[in-house]
Amino acid sequence: MPKIIKRKLLLGSVALATVAVVFGLTLGLTFGKMGNDNKDVKLGAPAPPIKEVPMAVQQLNDAFISAAKAVTPAVVQIKVTSTPKAVSVPDNQNPPEDFFKFFFGPDFPFHNFNMPAPKPTPQTALGSGIIVSPDGYILTNNHVVQGADKDGIRVTLLDKRKFNAKLIGRDPTTDVAVIKIDGTNLPVAALGNSDSLQVGQWVLAIGNPLGLDYTVTQGIVSALGRNINIIRDQYGIEDFIQTDAAINPGNSGGPLVNLKGEVIGINSAIATNTGGYEGYGFAVPINLAKRVALDLIKHGKVLRPYIGVSIQDIDQITAKALGMKEPTGVIVQSVQPNSPAEEAGIKSGDVILKFDGHNVEHANQLQTMVASKRPGDKVDVEVFRNGKKIDITVTLKERSGEEFASAEGISGKANLKSLGIDVAAADSQTLKKYDAKNGVLVTNVTPGSEADDRGITAGDLIVSVDGKAVNSPEELVKIVNAHKPGDALLFRVISKDKISSFIGVEIPKSTE
């Protein structure tokens, strides 16, 4: 703040203080006389209106207090500084010559103009974290520390101590990251078992929302296994705990705690139309976060196992067609060659009912179960096949960049030059986003092509052609190639807005 402003504020304060003294003396003399007869005035009722709080209520109240006191010392505030990349503009060696000549004529001295590139301004953001080891390892979200400058992560403890933190590793797939501060005998949070959570269970969210340090909010677990499509990663794993404990910007990375004072989740996101709390918050299950954190600390990366199947949730009609009494488990759409699933004997059309003894209800749930394991682990899988339940042992392998995890779609792409579109396989998350059971995703449309002229756009999901369901890029190519130039095909597509429409497309007579 400029000195002149400080000075004005100071002078103003002196003037106000002088007035206050005079005014105070006047009030004191006036009301002092008036109050001589009321020396024994008592404020408030003589006794509380409720003499005894029910024991169950008091115990619940005490449980909230105890849990908050136990965990808060291990919660930290994280301040991240990041500098955006510079915006590239034409330099003095390559000025926008055509621009100046167009508006000012060929003789305009455009070379005299100096157009320096704007300097990026550092930005700061606040998040939360939880200390998980006495020597300073801290769990937080990937999105909290992503893009941080070198030496741009600053941590503040409850006792006001400040530390520069080092980024140990981050995992966009799960939105988990680990940072470290140099300390000893630091307060450490206890980690619970998120697999034992139940809907309706009381929880606390602790963090630094909206710059309000060490805020505690309470609620319940309102749902489990939520997939909200916020992790923009090919292998994104979403199996969030949903809670109505108030979570706001700044809570990210902080703990979700049960009444035993155990961390059962890492607060990560909110569902909102305003940018603030509207009743729904989401946390990464601590079992998954712990597994990721250990890999980041030990190996600097996550050793991701995979099973090698493309799966989809089962609805009532599919369950009936399969001869199942109820829609449970996930159906295997395809099995990757040489994958753990193929080697173990899992087949396309099998329904996975259990994984490692746990019931499977949704695709993202199985994906999380697989991610919580390690390459080399042997896992018992129960499948439903031809009306019977079969037990199969699968040995998980480490996923490389070209392999897909359990909830991923068929790995494939195709280019239909005759129509001018590129398509790619749609995984189960994408299909769920479009409320579709099958389809391929349009990734690119050539300007001026037949598809472009007919209104097909990138981001559309092609569900069927001429009444035939499209499940893979290969199937689409096969259907189109079965027709000759000049034939018209009826495409059924679903837009990003979930609007379904039929579009007639003619195969051009002149093709490359």
The single residue of 143, 239, 406, 427 carrying the catalytic annotation is 143
Q: Which of 122, 127, 120 is nearest to 170 (CA)?
A: 127
Distance CA 367, CA 237 (A): 7
Task: Give the strand pairing for 215-226 and 240-243.
Answer: antiparallel
The single residue of 128, 194, 222, 252 carrying the catalytic annotation is 252
Instruction: Write the DSSP assignment of 236-301 as a string of letters.
Output: ----EEEE-S---TT-TTPEEE-TTSEEEEEEEEE--SSSS-SS-EEEEEHHHHHHHHHHHHHHSS
Distance CA 72, CA 361 (A): 35
- In this structure, how many other beta carbons lie within 10 angstroms of the beta carbon of residue 105? 8
The single residue of 171, 175, 244, 350 carrying the catalytic annotation is 175
- In this structure, how many other beta carbons lie within 10 angstroms of the beta carbon of residue 375? 14
Task: Give 382's strand partners.
Answer: 354, 391
Distance CA 138, CA 181 (A): 8
Task: Based on the residue annotation, tell me whether 299 is a catalytic residue of this protein.
Answer: no
Instruction: Output the CA–CA distances (angstroms, integers) from residue 173 to 32, 146, 330, 340, in the order listed.
Output: 70, 13, 21, 21
Q: Which of 209, 195, 81 is nearest to 148 (CA)?
A: 81
Distance CA 191, CA 473 (A): 44
Instruction: Output the CA–CA distances (angstroms, integers) from residue 169 to 139, 233, 351, 385, in the order listed.
Output: 10, 17, 36, 42
Task: Based on the residue annotation, tell me whether 143 is a catalytic residue of this protein.
Answer: yes
Q: Report CA dihedral (259, 263, 265, 269) to the nearest 10 degrees.
A: 80
Contact 423, 413 (CB under 8 A): yes
In terms of C-beta density within 10 A (0-12 exposed, 13-18 middle, 19 or more buried), how is residue 294 classed? middle
Task: Based on the residue annotation, tell me whether 510 is a catalytic residue of this protein.
Answer: no
Q: Catalytic residue positions?
A: 143, 175, 252
